[in-house]
Amino acid sequence: MKGVVNSVKEELLVTRREDKILFARVQDGKIVQLQAEDSDGGILGNIYVAKVRNIVKNINAAFVEFAKGQMGYLSLTGQIAPIHTDGTPRNDDRILIGDELIVQVTKEAVKTKPPTVSCAIELPGRYAVLTRKNGIVTSVSKKIQDEDKRENLRCILQEYAGESYGFVARTNSASCEEMTFRGEIEGLVKQYEQITKQGIHRTVYSVLYRAADGYLSQIRDSLGGQSTGILTDDEELYAQIQTYLEAGGLQDSMPLTLWDPDHGKMDAVYDISRTIEKVLRPKVWLRGGGYLIIQPTEALIAIDVNTGKAISKKKDVEKTFLKVNMEAVEEIARQLRLRNLSGMILIDFIDMKDPEHKEKVLQALERATAKDPVQTTVVDMTALGLVEVTRKKVRKSFYEQVKKGQD
């Protein structure tokens, strides 16, 4: 399909920017998510045969070499029994220096921290995730609220759960045909058995499973249907995406379009470069004249809400503060996702005296962050009036993804 995507509420854009592949999610004409990755792909989600090089008892962690010269951090707290590949007989589940294990990269390297790896393998599909964890897990996404549907999915998952793995039904499974759902689960089981059976005979540093490129994972995890379309202005990427969609049987639910240059440049039409420039700045203006200052540090993300021009000639200051804070709530939720900010986040809203106003802002923030597909929790307001938020950390922030090309 070539031309222009019509009648879609959400569009997924894939393009090249310098040496990166850029993914952008557009909702109601506005970019809400950005992701950049190297053209040769990354390591997140890959499964390797790794060698334990060091164990640090005071932090209960091991450091393993999963690729030549590439170390990973393996927490030993609550760690599932490892799958050893060196043939050493064991009477327990201890991990020792020199062991060779099957591990999966679960978090990218962030700043000075190495990538995080785990023995708890996860294989994601479009509708379900196979997960190897302590205890057999069979759970259904909380976003599926129909109890009959939840129970039906749970029963299917329990049929396929093995001695060392279980499943999680993803949100997409709510609209999936049972035959398709079962087919995907059977494919995940086959893939898991192939990895674990072949892995014990492979040498250290072997790649047992290579995860899909980040932009392809984003496409897989999108809801699809008639409300989603994919656009790219690169013929090579078009061919790669088309192959991926056809392999997963998604070509009908995820219409793919090669951008027509007669409509101008895709970058200009969707304001991609300008959005990126704004995302890389600390200052974000609000509609009513207030603004945010977003400052990532080593320990946390600090967000300061300021009245700016909104306070000029206003008599009811308390009402103005509430209005600016409510505007800030929506923009903060958008910026967290757009910049992929994660970990501990402290928000310094404009101080309000009315307790009801404070509660109103907190509730609005909870509603706004609940829309984020990445797990985000509004913890509470501290004694100093700072609102504490946590957001699950998986990938680097967007700034870190592109900074090599910016510095």
The counts of H helices and E strands in the chain are: 9, 22
pLDDT given for residue 310 in this prediction: 64
- Mind listing the pLDDT tens digit for each residue in 128-177? 999 987 666 789 988 888 899 999 999 999 999 888 899 999 888 888 88
Confidence of residue 1 (pLDDT cuts 50, 70, 90): very low
Same domain, 198 and 53: yes
Model confidence at 195, in pLDDT bands (50, 70, 90)? very high
In a domain, 133, yes or no: yes
Same domain as 291, residue 252: no
Are the C-beta atoms of 41 and 213 separated by less than 8 Å?
A: yes
Out of 54-68, 217-231, 249-263, 313-327, the most confident range is: 54-68
Residues 258 and 293 in one domain: no
Residue 293 maps to a domain: yes
Q: Are residues 259 and 322 in the same domain?
A: no
Residue 186 near residue 124 (C-beta atoms within 8 A)? no
Same domain, 206 and 217: no
User: Are 244 and 331 in the same domain?
Assistant: no
Q: Which two tokens stand for residue 379?
A: 């913890």
Q: What angle do CA 53, 79, 193 make, to 5 degrees?
A: 90
Q: What is the CATH number of the domain that holds 135?
A: 2.40.50.140
Q: Which residues of 258-278 are buried (b: 16+ CB within 10 A; e: fewer)?
A: bbeeeeeebbeebbbeebbee
This prediction has a pTM of 0.81
- Asked whether residue 324 falls in the same domain as residue 267, the answer is no
Answer yes or no: is pLDDT of 81 > 90: no
Domain edge (last residue) among 252, 273, 294: 273
* Tally of CA atoms within 13 A in the half-sphere of 141 that contains its CB: 15
Q: Residue 255, Cβ neighbours under 10 Å: how many?
A: 18
pLDDT for 269 beyond 90:
yes
Q: Clarify whether residues 102 and 193 are in a common domain.
A: yes
Residue 97, pLDDT > 60, answer yes
Alpha-carbon distance of 14 to 230, in angstroms, equals: 8
User: What pLDDT was estimated at residue 8?
Assistant: 45
Task: Report, as an integer, the average pLDDT of 243-252.
Answer: 81
Tokens found for residue 48: 């390797």
What CATH number is associated with residue 263? 3.30.420
Find the Cα–Cα–Cα–Cα dihedral 188, 192, 195, 200, rounded to 10°.
-170
On the question of pLDDT at 342 being above 60, the answer is: yes
Same domain, 260 and 309: no
Residue 5 has pLDDT above 50, yes or no: no
As a whole number, mean pLDDT of residues 65-93 equals 84
Per-residue pLDDT for 383 more than 80? no
Q: Which of 119, 160, 158 is nearest to 139 (CA)?
A: 158
pLDDT tens figures, 32-45 = 999 998 877 788 99
340 within a domain of the structure (yes/no): yes
Which helix or strand (DSSP H or E) is residue 117 part of? strand 116-118
For residue 192, the model assigns a pLDDT of 94
Within this chain, do residues 127 and 177 fall inside the same structural domain, yes or no?
A: yes
Q: What percent of the chain has pLDDT over 90?
A: 55
> Is 28 exposed, middle or buried (CB count within 10 Å of its CB: 0-12, 13-18, 19+)?
exposed
Q: Which of 64, 67, 54, 134 is nearest to 100 (CA)?
A: 64
Q: What's the start-to-end Cα distance of the chain, in Å?
A: 39
Contact between 171 and 144 (Cβ < 8 Å)? yes
Burial 47-57 (b: 16+ CB within 10 A, else e): bbbbbbeebee
Q: Read off the pLDDT band of 6 (50, 70, 90).
A: very low
Domain span including residue 72: 43-211
What CATH number should be reported for the domain holding residue 314?
Answer: 3.40.630
**Is 406 a member of any domain?**
no
Q: Give me the helices (H) in 28-86, please.
A: none
| Cα separation, 182 vs 151, whole angstroms | 15
Residues 336 and 224 in one domain: no
Calculate the average pLDDT of the chain. Answer: 87
The dihedrals phi and psi of 57, each to the nearest 5 degrees, come to -65, -35
Residue 8 domain flag: yes
Is 91 within the bounds of a domain? yes
Out of 183, 211, 239, pick the residue that ends a domain: 211
Between residues 298 and 367, the one the model is more confident about: 367
Candidates 35, 26, 113; CA nearest to 374 is 35
134 or 255, greater pLDDT: 255
Torsion (CA) 323, 372, 388, 322 in degrees, nearest 10:
10
Side-chain half-sphere of 322: how many Cα atoms within 13 Å?
A: 13
Number of domains in the chain: 3
Whether residues 259 and 293 fall in one domain = no
How far CA 259 is from CA of 13, 98, 230, 247, 370, in Å, comes to 10, 52, 10, 22, 33
Q: For residue range 273-306, what is the model confidence (pLDDT) as tens digits?
A: 999 999 999 999 998 888 999 999 888 999 999 9
pLDDT of 308 > 70? The answer is yes
Query: Which of 273, 291, 316 is the last residue in one of the domains?
Result: 273
pLDDT at 80 over 70: yes
Q: What's the pLDDT band for 7 if we cut at 50, 70, 90?
A: very low
Taking only the tens place, the pLDDT of each residue in 205-241 is 999 999 988 899 888 888 655 457 899 999 999 999 9
The type of residue at 208 is: L
For residue 362, pLDDT beyond 50: yes
Asked whether residue 407 is domain-assigned, the answer is: no
